[in-house]
A and B are shown apart, each in its own frame.
Chain A
Amino acid sequence: MTNLIGLALIVLLSVGGLHVRARALPGITTGTLTAYGMALTVIPAALAAVAVYALDIPGFVIIALAAVGGAAALLSLPSTAALRKRIDRIAIVLLAACAGLAIIITLGIVLSLLFEALRFFSFVAPWDFFFGTVWDPRFSSSGDMTEVGQFGLLPLLWGTLYISVVALLLAVPIGLLCALYLAEYATYWQRATLKPALEVLAGIPTVVYGFFALVVVGPAISNAGDALLGIQASASNALAAGLVLGVMLIPFVSSLSDDMLVSVPRSMRDGALALGATRGEALSQVILPAAAPGIAAGILLAASRAVGETMIVVMAAGIVASIDLNPFASMTTITVKIVHQLTGDQVFNSPQSLVAFALGLTLFVMTLAMNVIALQVVRKHRRHRE
């Protein structure tokens, strides 16, 4: 199938390229440019044709080759004014289509989630989903479709928010302190070495944090709970997931806050210092208040990250959906349940799998709201500065 598409593309592009070139030829005085352009289209096309029939190279490679050839042909076109105008117009339309892809992706997310979520709501009433306090989806493999179980969102929402709050309680103070130091106190060399060091933390894949929480932090907290408090804590507890999630968010909070602190105009800082304020006073009474909206937006973005984070909670938070205040208890989140309901041997059209789309939609709307507000604040803040 892909082979055929690739082949069709090659034929289309090389014929099209040659056609365009033939029409352009009379107006051109130097043949070199044309020869170069023809080599660029015809050679990959010929190679690709050989590849399809002789070497059995996968079709997508051929499509990629064809695209490269076509792009090269477009770029190396000779400059006849009339022709150029037409090609320019085509190029701009293609570029605009690529930019429009962003809207198509968003629409794809919303529509696919909405469509499948609506199918879920034909099994379970929205009221029971959004305000239900019990999460107990039965297995659909039992064959009995009338038994749908209970799909209450609230326990999952509670777990999500609880773990996120634990994470933010760790990440916000530490991240802010890091940002304060880097923006106001650090020497040039300190800043040049410490900032990349913090960015290392930001580049670590989340599954690594999940492993750390699962293998190191979870058991450590559980042992400490046993030894110090006499609590029977399970190895997968909300505290471990929350703390490790917090560690993940530190560089995020610190770099966003740092940006905001640095973007406060030099004149405000200098003014405060000229009036005799210490650096600390300038910071706490002039710079921080000026940067506060931006920092708040950064914290909101961090919260949205925490709510949407998956790997750490899947590996370390547990699977029991309960509304509990005890940080040593096992808790679960929306993302964990999305993963659980869609992996494993579930019948796809059952409410047990479809609920994942309703959960995904909830998650998307929650994070979207946070992001929109945060980005709006940041933009307004920036414009204000300029």
Chain B
Amino acid sequence: MNSPSPPPAPAQTAITAAQTARIAQKRHARNTWLRRCGLAGILLSISLIVILFGAVLTIGLSAFWQTRILLELDLSIERIDPDQTGDAQIISKANYRAIVQEAIVEKAQQVTGALSRQDRRAIRALVSKIAPYLVRDQVLDNRALIGTRAALWLPANNDVDAWVKGKIRRDIEESRRPINALQARVIDDLMATGRLDRFFNTDFFTRAASSYPEVSGLASAMVGSLMMVLIVVALALPLGVAAAIYLEEFARPSRWVSLIEININNLAAVPSIVFGVLGLAVFINWFHLPRSTPIVGGLVLTLMTLPTIIIAARAALQAVPHSIRQAAFGLGASKVQTVFHHVLPVAIPGIITGLIIGITQAVGETAPLIMIGMAAFIPEASFDPLSPATALPVQVYMLAGLPGRGYTELAGATIILLLVLVLSLNSLAAFLRHRFQKRL
């Protein structure tokens, strides 16, 4: 490059104005092209977000509604409690299944006339198999129902639900669809007379996972997630902040400190499943903590979120102006007093932002929880950290793996809730960070 080159011939330097303009045009065209490519990349990413959200919403949104049928049930004294004992044991053993089945068959026969045995079976299948248990619970809660003909809204079968929501094509051959012509006729009649309707699916929020998709909910998963978040906050926050304070305020640069720093940065990038394997080997196999429990899940998630919180807390401490420390020293405070009474309070918003990011990470994490056996059907929500539980993302994984349209829909609905939770936590963190930056 730097070797002396012969002076250019004068003829070559004579570039016309038209030529320069053409070159400039070409260069600007290339610039515009690059710019448009960048914009296209961004638009593509944003349309991917839209597609993802759109797909989840179309799949899951309908699960927030539940189809119910209004049935007049014969809750006469002879059928529930013939000896009038009032004993809960006897009342709970009455044949509610027969009562529910009779009610729906009776209703159908008003529309269709007398039905054959096979048709009666088809009609009985319209009501959820869990309906008798719901009737039993209602009777036990409200004894006044005994001896009356009570009209109750009971959940319909999952296929009826899908049919009413238009998720089953009506034009395909009768033998290949789950709702036959007779059932369809009865459903249409019930709908026309206002005895079959869609309600907001409260069961989805109040009941635990069930083998009947029409009444399956995520109460136990929500409780499990909440328990684990509490454990993460209780453990990762003090430990993480303490580690950050040491590294930022007390540690003098040394081999030991740089080893810790490298460790923290690397731990933040270790695949989450490795933490699951660690939890299985250490907490379950060595310490013999019970499997599938929130305490083990919480510990594993704590280890996972600890690096995130340490890094965020260090950044928050770094951002505290030096003048605050000097003022405290000047008034005779010790190093520890300076840090705890003056530096830490100023850094709190930043630390909380980091904590929220850590919680978001913990709430959405699935793989390590599957490793410690939390992918289980938990029929009862429990606040005990030592009894088996599940979590929202794990429930998504489980529901998505189950066959049947109803479960996919439920998985979609669970994802909608999970996304609302995670995105609002993220926006809260972003908002706090924004406020914090402004103030300093």
Residues of A within 8 A of B (CB): 58, 60, 64, 67, 71, 75, 79, 84-85, 87-88, 91-92, 94-96, 98-103, 105-106, 108-109, 112-113, 115-116, 173-178, 180-182, 184-185, 194, 196-201, 203-212, 214-216, 247, 250-251, 254, 278-281, 283-284, 301, 304-305, 307-311, 314-315, 335, 338-339, 342-343, 348, 356-357, 360, 363-364, 367-368, 371-372, 375
Contact = CB atoms under 8 A, between A and B. Distances in A.
A201 B48 contact: yes
Contacts of A307: 271
Contacts of A210: 366, 397, 400
Nearest to A360: B277
Interface in B31-71: 31-35, 37-42, 44-46, 48-49, 52, 55-56, 59
Contacts of B245: 95
Contacts of A58: 384-386
Contacts of A304: 269, 271
B202 interface: no
Interface stretch (B102-110, B145-153, B260-268): B260-268
A237 B233 CA distance: 39
Contacts of A181: 35, 38-39, 41-42
Contacts of B335: 88
- Central interface residue in A278, A305, A314, by most chain B CB within 10 Å: A278
From B34, B265, B412, name the one whose CB has the most chain A CB atoms within 10 angstroms: B34
Contacts of A360: 273-274, 277
A82 B55 CA distance: 66
Given A182-B38, A207-B397, A278-B27, 5 more contacts: A203-B364, A207-B418, A314-B397, A364-B274, A372-B266
26 contacts: A71-B238, A75-B341, A87-B336, A99-B242, A99-B260, A102-B307, A106-B266, A112-B281, A174-B41, A185-B35, A206-B366, A210-B366, A212-B55, A247-B48, A254-B45, A278-B28, A308-B274, A310-B271, A315-B397, A315-B400, A338-B273, A342-B280, A343-B373, A367-B269, A372-B266, A375-B262
How many chain B residues sit at the interface, stated as a range, is 35 or more
A91 B336 contact: yes
A3 B363 CA distance: 28
Contacts of B423: 200, 203
B277 A338 contact: yes
B260 A177 contact: no
Contacts of A197: 46, 49
Contacts of A371: 265-266, 269-270
B285 interface: yes
B35 A339 contact: no
B246 interface: yes
A44 to B, nearest CB: 14
B56 A208 contact: yes
Contacts of B46: 194, 197-198
B253 to A, nearest CB: 14
Contact of A207 (B231, B274, B310, B396): B396
- B contacts with A: majority SS: helix
A113 B277 contact: yes
Contacts of A115: 281
B348 interface: no
10 A-B pairs closest in CB distance: A308-B271, A181-B38, A205-B364, A177-B41, A280-B31, A98-B242, A95-B246, A310-B367, A112-B281, A278-B31
Contacts of A309: 271
Interface in B282-313: 282, 285-286, 295, 303, 306-307, 310
Contacts of B337: 79, 84
Interface string B377-410: 0000000111000000110110011000000100
Given A182-B42, A207-B396, A281-B27, A200 B278 contact: no
Contacts of B274: 109, 113, 308, 360, 363-364, 367
Interface string B225-238: 00000010010001
A92 to B, nearest CB: 6
B246 A96 contact: yes
B422 interface: yes
Given A210-B400, A368-B266, A281 B393 contact: no
B130 interface: no
Contacts of B400: 210-211, 214-215, 315
Contact of B56 (A212, A335, A356): A212
Contacts, number: 281
B162 interface: no
Contact of A99 (B33, B231, B251, B365): B251
Given A103-B259, A112-B282, A357-B281, A367 B360 contact: no
Contacts of B250: 92, 95-96
Nearest to B40: A177
Contact of A335 (B240, B271, B418): B271
Contacts of B270: 109, 308, 364, 367-368, 371
B302 to A, nearest CB: 10
Contacts of A363: 271, 273-274
A184 B40 CA distance: 15
A275 to B, nearest CB: 13
A96 B367 contact: no
A208 B396 contact: yes
A209 B231 CA distance: 26
A211 B395 CA distance: 12
Contact of B239 (A101, A180, A367): A101
A109 B272 CA distance: 12
Nearest to B242: A98
B347 interface: no
Contact of A208 (B239, B269, B367, B415): B415
Nearest to B393: A207
Interface in B305-349: 306-307, 310, 334-337, 340-341
B77 interface: no
B251 A96 contact: yes
Given A99-B251, A205-B418, A280-B31, A308 B243 contact: no
Contact of A103 (B27, B37, B263, B430): B263
A20 to B, nearest CB: 14
